Structure 1
Amino acid sequence: MKDELDLEAELKPGPSGSYVVAVDGKVVIEKKTLAFPTEQEIVDAVSKVIGR
């Protein structure tokens, strides 16, 4: 897996079954099917937005 990002994260409750990752309020990845995004998909999506 790609190197971990040195970032702070905040977990917020949402509707049952939801999963959304946002950076500075902008959604970068979310659950769109029954499956959750993989760890690598999350790291890649956040890395793209923060320019790493």
Structure 2
Amino acid sequence: MTPVAGWDLSRCHTFYFDPNAPDNKPVMISGNPPGPPPPPCIPLVNCLPGL
């Protein structure tokens, strides 16, 4: 796995892949995808440290 430049790998990050990017060259976008917000982070339930 190649880390994303500038990301602190000791904490969680939210990202999604651009649905309009070609399959052979995916584009990763930092942040939440458009639409409703994700559920809140509950440690050790839906938000695991280090992932």
Compute the TM-score of the two structures, normalised by the length of structure 2: 0.26
Higher helix fraction: Structure 1 or Structure 2?
1
**Highest Rg: 1 or 2?**
2
Higher strand fraction: Structure 1 or Structure 2?
1
Compute the TM-score of the two structures, normalised by the length of structure 1: 0.26
